[in-house]
Structure 1
Amino acid sequence: MTLLRNAYFRNFLIASTVLNIGRKLSWIALGWFVYQVTGSTVAVGMVISVATVSPLLSSILVGGMLDHFDRRTVMMWENVVRGGCLALIPLLYWLDVLSIWMIIVVVFVEGCLSSFTTIGTASILPEFLHKEDLETGNAVFTMTGQIGSLIGPALGGFSTALVGAPMTLLLNVICFLMAALLYLMIPPEAYHSSQTSSQTGARWKWRHFLRETKEGFTYILSYKILIVIALITLLFNFTYAPLEPMLPVFVDEIVKAGPGTLGTMWSFFAVGSFAGAILWVRLRRKFPYSYSLGLVILLWGLVPTSLSFHTHILIIYVLMFLGGIVYAPFNIVSPTLRQQLVPNAMRGRVFGVYGLIAGIGFPIGVYAGGLLAELVGVTQTILFSGVLTMTLGLVVAIHPILRFTDVSALDVPPSESSR
């Protein structure tokens, strides 16, 4: 593939894949570890909620910093420090002083730092690619990211069963250090290729941060398409989120299996996502964004709905595989649309604000899912998640606001047209 001949894009891609492997294996290990220690779906939901709320709280600050500081240096050190934070969980466990509040603190700090990579990746990727290659580049990121998702859950599940969750978390520490090294191999100027030197070298001040954070909010709120996409993602995150804390409990109590099965389920999802991304690239979408996003959300809703009626492990694996196929295009269409709508000089602060708006649905959904499971049970919570997601998909598909196929035909926000 021509894109892979681009050394900057290739190293950035490998770093993202390595981080995704680490994130997925630690996600499996941590979720299973918390449930086994506490026996509470609320505790699992609390830890996952903290892990997802913390990046949202830091996203606005991170966005402004990435627009002004050396992006390579920031992302390198962020991954080194995240690795050090995560290493505290196994160390404290082996010292026999680990408690749930310590896990929550570590997860909160690690999550705050993760915004640098999440927002940085979305902001920087277009700088490595030509505009016509952007959607393909996002598809390649999705495909290789699913390689990480394929390896990570299986590795996390089997490693947790073999050596325990604390030791498994140390593998993620190694992933953080590897990603930092790969970022170092890309020249710093590549991260800011279309920005002026005065912008990237300017002395960053808090008054500038406050002003530019306001600009990020203003840009999104004045651009109806962007705010609609953010709200759709918020609602999709909310309806999807109850599934995540329920799966460890579902596997343990309903399927009567162990962490290896949980990891394999997510690996089947990853294989499906890889296939789904390939199919989407070959399809070469010609229909409106409302149909693209709405159909993806609707079809994904069928997966948790179907899961709630089945306990046979082979059927569950097939459902997760099919779920990966239908879910993958969302992670191609949505970021590509955002990247095309926002200029590089503002991507950090705009994507930070966007992340706050769109991402808040996930921790709320996770926590709500944990509470709902305590009241009505795990299976009913998964069913509720699926039905609510299908309803959202139908609304998105029939709503006229995203019924366009060419981004270049849209008007930019009035506040930006005069810049």
Structure 2
Amino acid sequence: MTVPAATHAVLRTHPVFRRFWLARVATAMAYQMCGVAVGWQVYARTGSALALGLIGLVQFLPALLLVLVTGQVADRFDRRRVARNCQWIEGIAAVLLALGSLGGWLPVAGIYALIVVIGAARAFEYPAMASLLPALVPAAWLGQAIAASAAAMQTAIILGPALGGFLYALGAPVVYLVAATAFLLAGCLVQGVRYDTPPQPVKEPVGLASIFAGIGFIRSRPVVLGAISLDLFAVLLGGATALLPIYARDILHTGPWGLGLLRSAPAVGALLLSVWLSRQPLERHVGRILFGSVAAFGLATVVFALSTQFLLSLLALFALGAADMVSVVVRGTLVQLETPDAMRGRVSAVNSVFIGASNQLGEFESGVTAALLGVVPAVLLGGLGTLLVVVLWIRWFPELLHRERLAAEPA
């Protein structure tokens, strides 16, 4: 897998960041592998689109319910230990999924329960890892470090589903055990991360102002709020990830290997676009490019909804992922550039809820809509809804539309 050229230097020069990068690859791959196995296993047992949608719901609820706690933990405790402990908990849950599947004693409700455990651990892990990154490299390298971290995630999202799909031929327990190994390895890598100047934990007393500081910070910046919420509603409506097992088996007539390729296709498009962005960074007309990319995301979703050809579906998902990467880069860069270190945990926790709502809650929305209207109409309406969101956000967030550069320009 090719790492963007602009990120080679930071990976080569900073061994501490290299450990962090490898940990992100390992934990993201493990999570994606579990997603393939759980999706195929649940649909094989239930044959229900709603059951697939519930997977996304039980993943998202912990992040939503714990958002005011996870940010505080990331800002008040050693972020390395928080991330390490969470990754090891995820590994233990994956081992239990493997043992339950192997022994045949794990019902669908038990799978949901273990997914809740993984979701709760990830709710604490995400803000800790996101807040840890700026402390690992000099400020001058932060841009390259963010690009390398994004490449790590996309690499994992490509390899994880494909590997999970192929390993599923050996049985679900094999997938879960390999994922558990990756989770535990990630925890060991994070434990070994060292930095010269550790961040200073927040000393202010825990109160309402401190708890809601992340929410208030985002609300006070219309450009950040517009970018985050645009991504939220676009992916919430246009996401079809939860329904991929149905498309793979019933519409495109393929097997677990095909499901793995379908889940990997958006990440392939995203990674290739990140390579291009590392060479041609967004410098002008950032707002217009953002809205254009979200519109392209909606159009690609419409094409995927109507496709009955495996290759065309792969191409649509490829385009969908490439378009979504623009939103990821804009949102992530705005948050990192405008957030002080003492608040990064709380802001990252709120941002993770937006991301989780767009992904996991979007899966639940897709499952419910598909159960009521059918699979193809559900995805088609989602793509059209994304286009409507673009029109509304252009009117409601003119500051975002007219934003010229990622970095705030002096008044």
* TM-score (ref. length: structure 1): 0.88
Task: Name 1:332's counterpart in structure 2.
Answer: 329
Residue 106 of structure 2 corresponds to which residue in structure 1? Answer: 98
Give the secondary structure class of the aligned counterpart of 2:284.
Answer: coil
Classify the secondary structure of the residue corresponding to 1:408: coil
Could you tell me which residue of structure 1 aligns to residue 5 of structure 2? none
Instruction: Name the CA distance, whole Å, in 2 between partners of 1:43 and 1:357.
Output: 23
* Residue matched to 1:163: 170
Aligned equivalents of 1:128, 1:295: Cα separation in 2: 34
Corresponding residue for residue 192 of structure 2: 185
Question: Which of the residues 267, 279, 283 maps onto 2:280?
Answer: 283
Q: Percent identity, aligned pairs only? A: 26
Which SS does the other structure have where 2:253 is aligned?
coil
Deviations 1:236-294 (A, max 9, x none): 231133x0111111111111111110101233332222211011122221223322321
1:65 aligns to what? 73
Helix, strand or coil at the partner of 2:212: helix
> Residue 387 of structure 1 corresponds to which residue in structure 2?
384
Query: Hey, what's the Cα distance between the residues in 2 that align with 1:71 and 1:185?
Result: 12
**SS class of match (1:208):** coil
Aligned partners of 1:155, 1:299: CA distance in 2, in Å? 28
- When structure 1 is superposed on structure 2, of 358-367 and 290-299 the one drifting more is 358-367
SS in 2 for 1:329: helix
Gaps of 5+ in 2: 1-7
Q: Report the secondary structure of 1:35's partner residue.
A: helix
Quickly say closer, same or farther: Cα 1:406–1:45, change in 2 above 3 A: closer
**Aligned pair in 2 of structure 1 residues 313, 37: CA closer, same or farther (>3 Å)?**
same
Alignment-mate amino acid for residue 83 of structure 1:
G
Residues paired across the two proteins, number? 400
Match of 1:414 in 2: none
Matched, 1:365 2:366: no
Aligned pair in 2 of structure 1 residues 223, 272: CA closer, same or farther (>3 Å)? Answer: closer
- Give the conservation status (yes or no) of the 8 Å contact 1:58–1:113: no
User: Quick one: distance in 2 between partners of 1:310 and 1:226?
Assistant: 35
- Note the residue ranges of structure 1 that are not aligned, 5 or more in a row: 412-419
Matched letter for residue 112 of structure 1? A
In structure 2, relative to structure 1, the CA distance for the partners of 1:356 and 1:343 (3 Å cut) is same
Counterpart for residue 225 of structure 2 = 227
User: Is the counterpart of residue 258 in structure 1 residue 266 in structure 2?
Assistant: no
Superposed, which structure 2 residues align to 1:6-405 within 5 Å? 6-160=14-168, 162-187=169-194, 189=195, 193=198, 195-196=199-200, 199=201, 208=206, 210-241=208-239, 243-357=240-354, 359-396=356-393, 399-402=397-400, 403-404=402-403, 405=405
For residue 409 of structure 1, what is the amino acid of its counterpart?
A: E
The alpha-carbon deviation at position 358 of structure 1 amounts to 5.2
Indicate the RMSD between aligned Cα atoms, in angstroms.
Answer: 2.2
Measure how far apart 1:330 and its partner are. Answer: 2.1
Is 2:131–2:341's contact at 8 Å kept on the other side of the alignment?
Answer: yes
Which TM-score applies when normalising by structure 2?
A: 0.90
CA separation in 2, counterparts of 1:275 and 1:208? 43
